[in-house]
Chains A and B, each alone.
Chain A
Amino acid sequence: DSGVTQTPKHLITATGQRVTLRCSPRSGDLSVYWYQQSLDQGLQFLIQYYNGEERAKGNILERFSAQQFPDLHSELNLSSLELGDSALYFCASSVVGGGQSTGELFFGEGSRLTVL
């Protein structure tokens, strides 16, 4: 158990719809990352938050948005869904800025989104 919690684990929805994925980081971790893994592909970095502020953006579509709340949990909002958005969405957290930190990411179990 990594200590990172993601909900829901599975989600099936239709094209054009909007969904929200939720992530609770490990206790004490200030940084949250979202990654997308499409079928049989690697992990693509979407966005990073640190203590409530956006730190970096990767290949995140304009239809997608995220935020990190004061209690450090994060939500990834996906709107106007398309078939190609079907993927496994991972949340990860880390201790950023710690002197002994290697930068290791601790991953949740992922949210598998299927768009029909």
Chain B
Amino acid sequence: AQKITQTQPGMFVQEKEAVTLDCTYDTSDPSYGLFWYKQPSSGEMIFLIYQGSYDQQNATEGRYSLNFQKARKSANLVISASQLGDSAMYFCAMREKRYNTDKLIFGTGTRLQVFP
């Protein structure tokens, strides 16, 4: 079965510094997709970035980049130049595609706190 693991329950970072949130995954599928979502205290789920297993380059979206290491089965999120508004829960997710379903499975999340 596919699995997503986020081992950091909480992280602290100072404003303007970079931070890496860890995510490892387990799958036997040759083709898969990895996602990161942000959940601020207001509760909504905000899509940040996507990485396909066959993508040659690491995905980037503004201050977000995904450090994809396929052999290690890791897909860490890097946030550069942290801002106070980055304080939130961050969830790593993986696409699980089967003959009759196509859904995302989520890790347990990492709570990031950015301090001045």
We find that the number of chain A residues with CB closer than 8 angstroms to chain B is 26
Partner of A104, one of B35, B106, B109: B35
Check A102 against B102 for contact (C-beta < 8 Å): no
Tell me, rounded to whole Å, the shortest Cβ–Cβ distance linking A26 to chain B.
13
**Does A103 sit at the interface, judged by CB under 8 A?**
yes
Check A106 against B47 for contact (C-beta < 8 Å): yes
Total inter-chain residue pairs, C-beta < 8 Å: 58
Chain A window 47-88, contacts with chain B (Cβ cutoff 8 Å), 1 for yes, 0 for no = 010000001100000000000000000000000000000001
Check B43 against A88 for contact (C-beta < 8 Å): yes
We find that the number of chain B residues with CB closer than 8 angstroms to chain A is 23
Tell me, rounded to whole Å, the shortest Cβ–Cβ distance linking B92 to chain A.
10
Among residues of A, the one whose C-beta sits closest to the C-beta of B111 is: A40
Partner of B103, one of A33, A90, A107, A109: A33
Q: Which residues of A contact B (CB under 8 A)?
A: 2, 31, 33, 35, 41-43, 45, 48, 55-56, 88, 90, 92, 94, 96-97, 102-107, 109-110, 112
A2-B44, A43-B106, A97-B102 given; 6 more Cβ-contact pairs under 8 Å? A45-B103, A55-B100, A56-B101, A96-B102, A103-B102, A110-B45
